[in-house]
Structure 1
Amino acid sequence: MIVSLIYIVCIRFDIGPRSLHYYITRSTPLPFEEIGGIKLGTILDEAAPIHGQTQIKDETDSFVYYEYDSGVEVAALKSTKEIVRIRIEGQDNQTTGKGIALGAGLREVKKRYGKNYYKRSEQGADIIGYIDKRKKTTLEFWLYENKVTLIRYDVKTMN
């Protein structure tokens, strides 16, 4: 019964898996979160002195996706160039605000960020995510064999 009700609500209000987790997971304050020194809300050009020039990777009606010379990928609003997503993967050596880098273990992530996380799967990866409901942001760690292979930090409105 409860599962059916949740399913109906999700369909009716177009709530996807990430959005549903947003409502049922306890908030984790992420007041100083960043990846590689870039914070959400930073204007695209402000990160250039540290990360180098950008190349456009993709574009939608609302966002432009860029990759800095350093390998950090970001999405920025077309209208303001405000960064709304930060993403690292592969051999990138950047870290989160609490020092988690690619290759870190699941246990270390939980130790630094706490127990209020959600789990989901996408593209064959296990994912744990932390939500700061006050800031309306999510921080996700994509895992393979319990090691971080991708880190994504974005505003709630990104899908």
Structure 2
Amino acid sequence: MQLTPLKKRRTFLIILVLVTLAYAGYQFYLYYAPRQAHYGQVETTDLGQESLGGIQLQQSIRTIEPAPTPKQDNDLYPYYTLEDETTVATEHGSDQIVLLVVYDNPDRSTHKGIHAGSSRQEVLDAYGQAFYKREEQGTSIIGYVDKENHRSLEFWLYKSKVQMIRYSVDSVTM
């Protein structure tokens, strides 16, 4: 059975529409997906020396002064609050920090000097173009991944200004 030119054209259009929809769906998924979904899409950025206000991942929570205040644990991680609205988390049964979150505090900056209130352009100038973009809770996020040290650094932006910084090991899920 041979296809007529009209059937060939119709088949081509159907395939084209399906491929376009699949691609659009994949891009939509990437934009709204959890941060781990972006790791394969971006080149690695060295975050080995990174810290937030002098606190590093894998550092013992017992070394922080004054001692963090425990928050209500969730099923995944025990959370603690520092005096300056910084949140840290450990894994159950461990004292090593796996997550650092700085909210709206310009005094806690990254190793490269980025803090709440820094501009999107300042982030790009400091960390480069090897980032992913996503959105969560209506907020635009740009993130950097260190594939060798298994960690990620995200900058949550509002009106192109950093509102929150989240630094965590790869295994942390939210």
Q: Same fold (TM over 0.5)?
A: yes
Structure with greater strand share of residues: 1
Aligned partners of 1:64 and 1:76 also within 8 Å: yes
* Alpha-carbon shift at residue 132 of structure 1 (Å): 0.2
Structure with greater helix share of residues: 2
The runs of 4+ residues in structure 1 deviating greater than 6 Å are: none
Q: CA 1:3/1:156 → structure 2, altered by over 3 Å: closer, same or farther?
A: farther
Gaps of 5+ in 1: 11-15
Aligned residue among 130, 138, 150 for 1:124: 138
Distance 2:108 2:158 in 1: 18
Counterpart of 2:45 in structure 1 is: 28
The AA in structure 2 aligned to 1:28 is T
State the superposition RMSD in angstroms.
Answer: 1.9
Q: Which moves more between the two structures, 27-36 or 88-97?
A: 88-97
Aligned partners of 2:52 and 2:109 also within 8 Å: yes
Aligned partners of 2:105 and 2:115 also within 8 Å: no
Map Cα deviations across residues 107-155 of structure 1 (whole Å, 9 max, x no partner): 0000000000000001111000000000110000000000000000001
Q: Which moves more between the two structures, 90-99 or 29-38?
A: 90-99
Aligned residue among 90, 93, 98 for 1:76: 90
Distance 2:131 2:20 in 1: 22
* TM-score normalized with structure 2 length: 0.79
Instruction: Please list, as runs of the form range in 1=range in 2, the aligned pairs for 1:4-153 lying within 5 A after superposition.
Output: 4=22, 16-48=33-65, 52-153=66-167
Aligned partners of 1:72 and 1:92 also within 8 Å: no
The alignment of Structure 1 onto Structure 2 pairs a total of residues equal to 149
Q: Give the 3-state SS of the residue equivalent to 1:110 in structure 2.
A: helix
Aligned partners of 1:53 and 1:69 also within 8 Å: no
The structure with the largest alpha-carbon Rg is: 2
Q: CA 1:3/1:66 → structure 2, altered by over 3 Å: closer, same or farther?
A: farther
The AA in structure 2 aligned to 1:17 is P
Aligned partners of 2:84 and 2:105 also within 8 Å: no
Counterpart of 2:6 in structure 1 is: none
